[in-house]
Amino acid sequence: MNLIIRGIIQVQEITLLIWRVLRGIFRPPLYLREIIRQMDVLGFGSLTIILLTGFFTGAVLALNTGNTLQKFGVQSVSGQLVATSLIRELGPVLTCLMLAGRVGSGIAAELGSMLVSEQIDAMRALGSDPIKKLVTPRIVALVTMAPALTVICDMVGTLGGLLAAISFQGQASSVYMSSAKVAVTYNEILGGLIKPTVFGFVIAIIGCYKGLSTTGGTVGVGRSTTQSVVVSSILIIAVDFVLSKLILSLLLGP
């Protein structure tokens, strides 16, 4: 029972945090410089891991599906298979799982350290709103950068699939690319951008909540960091199912 009550309380606190962010997101001060800095730290700083993840995911997809497609005589659609898999599912999910591990943990650790060292209390004493100055810039930055990184992951993954198809299956690059272009439609792209936008918000809000609810000193910071990654990863996978159903019904249905 205590676990259920604690879960309900945490949902209420997260909802209140979301409301405070949305209520004051357009009210001055806007801290635009902090938002840009967070976009650089959270977005550009994650570029390397996203490039590697996307490239090898696309290459593995092309490598593993090539033999199966060849058995049915439809190896020419490997580009469409790789591109569709990346745009619809693997690109958004893998990108945001990487962000949850790198960025979500960083947000929780940073805010948790500020809380236990009483920096946030000092900020309140000086008249600054910690939600406006610390939480909102990180949420805006991650909601903005997660879709951008997902697009990069999709493009690099498709390129990785191309190199794998050429190198290990002897497929012509023109055949692969013409097949991949079939998967790039307006609805596919729109659906592929909705997911990382929602996932980015989830990662940021969970990281900020866990950081601001840290207790127990430096040991609590480590605990909050771990909980942020675990909860964000689980929510990404759970929300992905709901979004996939909605997108298939509204955008990609017959």
pTM of full prediction above 0.75: yes
Q: What is the DSSP string of 93-108?
A: HHHHHHHIIIIIHHHH
Domain ranges of the chain: 29-249
Q: Which amino acid is at 118?
A: E
Please give the chain's pLDDT, 254 residues, in tens: 577 888 888 889 899 999 999 888 888 888 889 999 999 988 888 999 999 999 999 999 888 887 777 777 777 788 888 888 999 889 999 999 999 999 999 999 999 998 888 888 888 888 788 898 899 999 999 999 999 999 999 999 999 999 988 888 778 888 888 888 887 888 888 888 999 999 999 999 999 999 988 888 788 888 999 999 999 999 999 999 999 999 888 876 55
Residues shown for the chain: 254
Contact 225, 112 (CB under 8 A): yes
Cis-peptide into 29, omega within 30 deg:
yes
